[in-house]
Amino acid sequence: MNHEVTRFAPSPTGFLHLGHAHAALFAAKLAEDTGGRFLLRIEDIDRGRCRTEYEDAIFEDLRWLGLNWVEPVWRQSEHMTDYARALERLESDGLVYPCFCTRKEIQAEIKNAVHAPHGPDGFLYPGTCRGLSKSERENRIGEGTAFALRLDTVRALRRAEAANGGPLGWTDRAGGRQKCDPTMFGDVVLARKDTPTSYHLSVTLDDHAQGVSLVTRGKDLFPATHIQRILQALLDLDVPEYHHHELLCDPTGRRYAKRDQAHSLRALKNAGVTPGNVRAMAGFGNEQP
C-alpha cells in the first residue's frame, strides 16, 4: 500500500467552518489509513486579506478537532522566491506574456465581442495582449504600466503534449482518468504586481516540494487541476493523484462559506458542541449531540 502524503491547505482569510473540517478530516484519514503523513499548508500569498489571528485560529481549531500534522507547517509567504524562479523559467521558455489590460478594458472587449467564450471561472480573457510585439511590451513596461503575467495556454499545451508524446492526463480517485485541457480557462493570470504569484502556481509548486502524493480537496476545485497539471508538465514536477470530494452543505442545501460565522468551528465550540459532535457533523464518526 502507498503511504499517502496528503495535505489540508486553508487560507487564513476567515475562521474555519464545517466544510473545512470535512476537508481536513478527509485528508487526515487517508494519510492515517495508509500509514502516511498529513501535512498542513497555510496559503497566505494574498497579504491584503490574510490575518495572523485567522492563522492562529486554524491551528487551534484543528487541534481542538483532534488533528495532528507533520511539523513544520508550510507557509506560502515564506516561499515567494521559489515561485518567482518558476515564473522566470516559464518566461524564458516564452510561455507567459505581460498583459496590461485593466479589468474594465477586458469587460468592454468581452461586451463588444460577437462570441465571448465562457470558462469555469466566467468569461475568458480575449487574448488582447498576447500578440503585442517585443518592443511594444518593453515600452509599456518602461512607462511603468502595471501588468499581470498570463500563461499562453494554447502554446503551453502544445509544447507540453509534444514533449509528452501525446495528451497529458491525471487520475482522480472519484472521477477516474482525466485528459488535461487547460484551454477551457483561457490565458490564466500566473502573477500580478501586488501578488507576484497566483493560487495555481504556488499550489502546484508546493504540492511537489512537499512530496504530496494525493491531493484531496472539494469538487469545486476539480477544473483547476487542468491548469495545475499543465504547470507540472512545463516545470518538470511530480504528478500526484487527486481525490475531489463532495462539498458539505448546510441543512438548507447551501455550501458552507467563511461569511456564515454561525457555522464556524469556534461558534460551535462556544455553543458547547464537542469535537466529537463536530467530527460527526462533518461526516466522520457518529458522536451525535
Shortest distance, CB of residue 217 to ligand GLU, whole angstroms?
Answer: 4
Q: How far is the CB of 257 from ligand GLU (least distance, A)?
A: 11
> What is the spatial distance between Cα 177 and Cα 181, in angstroms, rounded to a whole number?
13
CA 46 to CA 230: how far, in whole Å?
Answer: 23
Radius of gyration of the chain (CA): 20
Nearer Cβ to ligand GLU (61/101): 61
- Closest residue to ligand GLU, based on beta-carbon distance: 217
The C-alpha atoms of residue 137 and residue 279 are separated, in whole angstroms, by 53
Q: Which stretch binds ligand GLU (CB under 6 A): 7-15, 53-61, 144-152, 241-249?
A: 7-15
Query: Least separation, in Å, of the C-beta of 272 and ligand GLU?
Result: 28
Burial readout 99-110 (b: 16 or more C-beta within 10 A, e: otherwise):
bbbeeeebeebb
Residue 129 C-beta: closest distance to ligand GLU, Å: 28
Question: Using CB under 6 A, which of the segments 9-17, 96-104, 173-181, 255-263 binds ligand GLU?
Answer: 9-17
Contact 122, 184 (CB under 8 A): no
Q: Quick one: cell of 219? A: 469538487
* Beta-bridge partners for 186: none
From residue 168 to residue 207, the character string flagging contacts with ligand GLU as x (rule: CB under 6 A) and all else as - is: -----------------------------------x----
Phi, psi for residue 241 in degrees, rounded to 5: -90, 165
Residue carrying C-alpha cell 484543528: 62
Using CB under 6 A, which of the segments 3-11, 66-74, 137-145, 170-178 binds ligand GLU? 3-11
Q: Which of 4, 5, 6, 11 binds ligand GLU (CB under 6 A)?
A: 11
Cβ of residue 228: shortest distance to ligand GLU, in angstroms? 8
Smallest distance from ligand GLU to CB 91, Å: 24
Question: Least separation, in Å, of the C-beta of 10 and ligand GLU?
Answer: 5
Give the dihedral of Cα atoms 160, 77, 225, 35; nearest 10 deg. Answer: 110
**Distance separating alpha carbons of residues 71 and 191, to the nearest angstrom:** 29
Q: Under rule CB under 6 A, which residues in 206-225 are in contact with ligand GLU?
A: 217, 221
Residue 277 φ then ψ, to 5°: -60, -45
Distances (CA, A) of 168 to 6, 94, 231, 269: 23, 20, 11, 45
176 membership: H or E segment, kind and range? strand 176-179
x-marked contacts with ligand GLU along 25-54 as a string, rule CB under 6 A = ------------------x-----------
Please say which residue, 57 or 99, places its beta carbon nearer to ligand GLU: 57
Q: How many residues lie near ligand GLU (CB under 6 A)?
A: 7
- Which of 28, 101 has the CB closer to ligand GLU? 28
Rounded Cα distance, 283 and 222, in Å: 21
Closest approach, Cβ 123 to ligand GLU, in A, equals 22
Footprint of ligand GLU on this chain (CB under 6 A)? 9-11, 43, 203, 217, 221
